[in-house]
Structure 1
């Protein structure tokens, strides 16, 4: 029994030893595979794309919801203090032709239009003229309440808009927008706009209460409308678009202006002002010749007889 038992134990021991050797050999031959980087990277990219797509879908969903329709409910299911409820739309009332459009608050949004479309020349629209006037007053006007304060555009009426010709003193062509204050008799501004930017302004007041003032008054300070720089005397760029403005009494029914080789041009009468424009094709030394007539056709004003009018150009 003992001999047989020893043989069995020796056999078991031999088998166990063999298994240990085999396992030891496998430990050296079996190696873990390397991490599948390309596959992992593809999964990572796909995951990022999926997250981006989900975020984009969420943004599109939010964008599809009208802002005014979004509301936050309070704890009791009713609208709380953070509610963003839709507001009713407000339509501005239609303004009559020739008057400035009003906002919901009732404040005029811009200057009044001229009496006729013929006062806007050279393809200039009223919108362009109004925008130029606003820019000019904002850029060139003084501090509010000061003597140089020219007020807001809605206080004015545009009476003339023409192209401007550059000269040695102010190079570059542009446009002139001439406007007059609606509530201050005799006050005018001429705005220079070049490339959509305000480049200068002239302003003045015609005092019709001065003794000896006639039924037609031209402010010589507005000469930039009808002449180029004195430095270019005799060498003006031609053809030259010129303009002129002035005040008229109620008795005046017609105003004509002659300049250079051109015949008389009939001015437009607009709320106590006259506005006129023409085209000059020759060099000149004399200022425009202005005449005014009453309702019967009688001559009541002639600039050649006006001692305050400068007939000769500088």
Structure 2
């Protein structure tokens, strides 16, 4: 190749580079990345969270795997003995009033008496809730976190006997309450054994985020109510008191829950449903839930709900 041809080739390359730079500069002002599909990302996140939590046996598997030395209202203490029929402990009395006339009114009552099981009274459930909140506040004092509010912010949804397992030894009771004035109606769930709170967890109402979601929804974080620890898979302690708590849309007039050989007609309470029964056989399938409208038409069946974990971990 002659010197003239080489010079011409070099010039052509420079001309091409200049044209390319001009085109890129122009495109930099016109090309914009498409906006992130936030609603779709959030919905997908909710779906994956529900599946992960359900598959893991619910977040409350850690309920009793917390440091021993539970905080009890009225002072610190350590839980230990078994309480087949939960009773109010002297260490779980309500906090004293700042003045004689300022008596705390405590949580609101459940919508029906059918939401309190095993002879547990509303007063015992209310004391249990206050015990849980005191336990929670005691763990947050150093951080300055305001915690989960006071008992009067809540309404009791469920109280029932808690059957102990390898992860949470000793029978006690579960208390579930809803903080109705919170934007997402946060629910609180805790286990109390012999007057001592052993663990606490919260879950919110995240219904309405899925376009194809049904009119009945069981939050997977409440799965601890109807299953024992994965450590005891295939070797549950029987009989086993189980419970189910979830949300329903206004179109639902009746909810039934069947589990193993027992079944229950759920109590409906201002957008929530609550059911409980006693299991006398080992199971591998989660509770079967059905919802009906006012005319008796089936409007929901958990067997057809792709977001409901139908098998136990």
TM range (shorter): 0.5 to 0.7
Alignment of 1:232-247 (within 5 A): 232-247=232-247
Structure scoring higher RCO (CA < 8 A, sep ≥ 6) equals 2
Q: Which residue of 2 aligns with 1:172?
A: 170
TM-score (ref. length: structure 1): 0.63
Maintained 8 Å contact 2:216/2:291? yes
Maintained 8 Å contact 1:202/1:222? no
Structure 2 CA distance for partners of 1:151 and 1:116, relative to 1, 3 Å:
same
Shift of the alpha carbon at 1:143?
3.9
2:147 maps to which of 139, 146, 149: 149
Q: For the residues of structure 1 that align with 2:145 and 2:234, how far apart are their CA atoms?
A: 37
Pair 1:258 & 2:254 matched: no
Q: Which has the larger radius of gyration?
A: 1
SS at match of 2:235: coil
Q: For the residues of structure 2 that align with 1:235 and 1:106, how far apart are their CA atoms?
A: 50
SS at match of 1:252: coil
Maintained 8 Å contact 1:191/1:198? yes
Shift of the alpha carbon at 1:274?
0.4
Q: For the residues of structure 2 that align with 1:166 and 1:156, how far apart are their CA atoms?
A: 26
Pair 1:128 & 2:124 matched: yes
Shift of the alpha carbon at 1:204?
0.7
Maintained 8 Å contact 2:131/2:196? yes
Task: Tell me the C-alpha RMSD between the 2 structures.
Answer: 2.1
State the Cα deviation string for residues 99-129 of structure 1 (Å, max 9, x = none).
Answer: xxxx997885211111122211111111111
Q: For the residues of structure 1 that align with 2:160 and 2:146, how far apart are their CA atoms?
A: 25
**Unaligned stretches of 5+ in structure 2?**
1-98
Pair 1:181 & 2:171 matched: no
Q: Which residue of 1 aligns with 2:157?
A: 159
Structure 2 CA distance for partners of 1:207 and 1:230, relative to 1, 3 Å:
same
Maintained 8 Å contact 1:206/1:217? no
Shift of the alpha carbon at 1:148?
7.8
Maintained 8 Å contact 2:136/2:147? no
Maintained 8 Å contact 1:256/1:265? yes
Q: For the residues of structure 1 that align with 2:267 and 2:145, how far apart are their CA atoms?
A: 31
Structure 1 ranges of 4+ moved more than 6 A: 103-107, 144-148
Q: For the residues of structure 1 that align with 2:245 and 2:159, how far apart are their CA atoms?
A: 11
**Unaligned stretches of 5+ in structure 1?**
1-102
